């Protein structure tokens, strides 16, 4: 299996689950939840394969948004310094190296409030074409998106558009104030209407409650077509960001989140994303068992550290697992 569709004959995505139904899954006794997640995962995917993606910051820092977890906001004083939009050849070279390292999807992130028409956007479209020419899946995260821009990305051959919901609608105002929850949902709708696949996840460990994690999963389940890819980030506390002091990562809650996502979204890729460098091998192995079947490879995720490639290779070998081709 590669980074594409789930197995033929796999269980269909659940059509609708409200918050109460998701809560009932999330709060099952852990062995029962684990069994359900393992069963759902094996029905849809090769349980030994982990899809690898690489994420590159193609335009770093200087963002006008105030996301409380992000080092790239111009409103914060952090270790990040603004950098201009990358050159096309440099991005394609990075994608080629990622492919040689086993990645099947290449993700490009720009610290923009949203896409603006013009030369910069045209350069991003060329980046997408360059990644596709390597035989990789392409993904971008560019902030808010208008319908004609989503269509331009689709015509350039983009496979996935990433736009995370981050957390529940209720907790969202504690995270960001410069754009609303419905703004995020509108961007996802524009991407979907253009024929793009969605990469949409959240962050745990920001001071949110269990109920917020349940409500976020219910948001995914309520979509007419849930995201094909769901990155699960653990908050990386960054000095200078408002949420750094709220970090309260609980490994068991992460495991419950992964397992519930797998039950609720049986044919979506569930990805271990930011914060993986701080997870033990044992915790990652548990997440893989419960249905996480994707991870970011490479030494950096935008502006934060990621697990080393040799550690990933050693872990997969120790588990008798392999990178998806």
DSSP assignments along 252-290, one per residue: HHHHHHHHHHHHHSTTSEEEE-TTGGGS-HHHHHHHHHT
| Crossing angle between the packed helical segments 281-289 and 251-264, to the nearest 10 degrees | 20
**How far is Cα 323 from Cα 104, in angstroms, rounded to an integer?**
9
Q: For residue 202, what are the CA distances in angstroms to 152, 166, 167, 277, 293?
A: 26, 4, 6, 17, 16
Q: Catalytic positions, please?
A: 63, 67, 70, 107, 139, 199, 271
Cβ(229)–Cβ(176) under 8 Å?
no
**How far is Cα 143 from Cα 63, in angstroms, rounded to an integer?**
10
**How far is Cα 234 from Cα 227, in angstroms, rounded to an integer?**
19
Instruction: Count CA within 13 A, CB hemisphere, residue 73.
Output: 20
Q: For residue 243, what are the CA distances in angstroms to 5, 195, 309?
A: 36, 35, 28
Q: For residue 307, what are the CA distances in angstroms to 26, 134, 276, 277, 317?
A: 28, 25, 6, 4, 15
């Amino acid at each position: 299996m590669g980074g594409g569709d789930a197995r033929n004959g796999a269980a269909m995505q659940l059509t609708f689950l409200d918050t109460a139904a998701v809560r009932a899954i999330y709060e099952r006794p852990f062995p029962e939840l684990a069994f359900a997640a393992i069963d759902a995962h094996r029905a849809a995917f090769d349980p030994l394969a982990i899809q690898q993606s690489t994420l590159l910051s193609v335009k770093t820092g200087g963002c006008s948004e105030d996301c409380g977890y992000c080092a790239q906001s111009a409103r914060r004083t952090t270790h990040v310094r603004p950098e201009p939009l990358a050159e096309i050849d440099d991005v394609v070279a990075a994608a080629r190296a990622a492919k040689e390292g086993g990645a099947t999807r290449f993700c490009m992130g720009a610290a923009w409030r949203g896409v603006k028409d013009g030369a910069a956007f045209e350069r991003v479209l060329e980046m997408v074409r360059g990644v596709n020419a390597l035989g990789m899946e392409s993904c971008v995260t560019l902030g808010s998106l208008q319908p004609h821009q989503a269509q331009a990305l689709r015509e350039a051959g983009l496979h996935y558009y990433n736009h995370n919901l981050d957390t529940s609608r209720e907790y969202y105002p504690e995270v960001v104030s410069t754009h609303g929850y419905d703004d995020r949902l509108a961007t996802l709708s524009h991407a979907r209407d253009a024929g793009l696949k969605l990469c949409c996840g959240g962050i745990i460990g920001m001071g949110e409650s269990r109920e917020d994690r349940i409500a976020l999963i219910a948001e995914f389940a309520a979509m007419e077509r849930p995201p094909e890819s769901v990155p699960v980030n653990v908050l990386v506390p960054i000095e200078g960001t408002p949420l750094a002091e709220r970090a309260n990562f609980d490994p068991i809650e992460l495991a419950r989140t992964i397992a519930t996502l797998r039950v609720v979204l049986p044919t979506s890729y569930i990805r271990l994303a930011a914060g993986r460098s701080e997870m033990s091998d044992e915790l990652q192995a548990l997440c893989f068992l419960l249905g996480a079947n994707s991870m970011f490879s490479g030494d950096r995720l935008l502006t934060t550290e990621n697990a080393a490639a040799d550690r990933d290779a050693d872990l997969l070998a120790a588990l008798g697992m392999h990178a998806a081709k």
